Amino acid sequence: MGVRALFDDGQLVTTTRSNSVKDKNYSVSDYLVLTCASFCAFSTFVSIHGSSFAAEAGYIKPLTEFGVPDIQGTWSLATQTNLERADRFEGKLAISEEEAILIETRVRARMEASNRPSDPNREAPSAGQNVGGYNTFWMDPGEQLAVVNGEIRTSVIVEPEDGQLPYSEQGRANFAAAMQQRQSYDGPEVRPLGERCMVGFGSSGGPPKLPVLYNNLTQIIQTESHVVLLAEMNHDARIVRMNSAHQDPPLYPWLGDSIGYYEEGSLVIETTNFHAQQGMRSSLEHRFYGSQQMKVLERFTRTSDDKILYQFTVEDPTNYSQSWSGELPMNANGERLYEYACHEGNYALPGILAGARRADTEGIDYAPTDPVQ
């Protein structure tokens, strides 16, 4: 059963993750009431939200016309679950539905508050202040925590068990240096790849594929010889050569060199030999650093008509003391993908660099963009 927490049109309703967070259109004050009520109802028994990502009992996976598992379609990776596990979860991989309701309603309340109309009589920002970019209307990072095998997950990372990236001393230094570079405006090559529109922000194109602030859809197309993973963000198309070998000598393309095969009802993709400038992946709280020789093994397993279980393992001895693995649900989405018409050298980049040169001339600090994006 759910948490009986909120009056709706004079009636006491049962609150679950699906009807409290996704289906209702409550105000910010309603969400604060819901949050308080949910907290007070912690002693109430709550069943875990359905939607298990173990293959549904009796589910027969569809096959393509050439006899391999059919995972074609448009799928969403949007979620509030972060790559690494936050300290507040005290090491727990999974939490109760009660705890998830608290987190998700607070997120929804913040988003709704942020999306309210701006005060037309507000004062202009002070000189040098970051005026921001897109408003909340355009953002779609996901409203719910990820559910895998019936568990509400606190982190994408499942191995190591503590949900943390197992950086080596050198790897942590490499990560710190890459983050520091984001505060440099000496030229276009030092700016983040997403800002330059070379590839999408973060690791939306993968591998591994991780959520970003918006544009979290991926369209999968299969032929006998290739699979295409088309990310909505920056229209990154990763082309996977099936039953092939890695390029020799390596070419180090954007998104790496991907080869694939089918195994036990799943699509398996192996990727390595990444572009030298693609070491840093950073968006929201999903941040990691990888070498050109990093190896990523991905597994896509269809568990129902509207769900794919996405699993990956990263091996990179240059930066990590051990391999690390993660899991995410990919949820079917009936929407069409439209071109993300960002291109290298778009007019924003000259503006950013021109502002930096003006700041240099005037001897003032310059930080027009968020260094963590």
Amino acid at 58: G
Residue 138: predicted pLDDT: 85
Q: What's residue 313's pLDDT?
A: 98
| Predicted pLDDT of residue 25 | 40
Q: pTM above 0.95?
A: no
Can you give the pLDDT at residue 16?
A: 52
Closest CA to 71 of 241, 256, 303: 303
Instruction: Specify whether the CB–CB gap between 35 and 106 falls below 8 A.
Output: yes
Spans of the chain below 70 pLDDT: 1-57, 128-130, 132-133, 367-373
pLDDT 10s digits, 249-284: 999 999 999 999 999 999 999 999 999 999 999 988
- pLDDT of amino acid 58: 78
Residue 11 pLDDT: 36
CB-CB contact of 146 with 328 (8 Å): yes
DSSP reduced 3-state for 313? strand
Mind listing the pLDDT tens digit for each residue in 50-69?
444 455 667 899 999 999 99
The burial class, CB within 10 Å (0-12 / 13-18 / 19+), for 17 is: buried
Helix axis angle, 97-114 to 28-40, nearest 10°: 160
Q: CA-CA distances (angstroms) from residue 243 to 224, 261, 270, 368?
A: 10, 6, 11, 46
The domain ranges of the chain are 64-85+155-373
Between strands 147-148 and 11-15, the pairing is unpaired
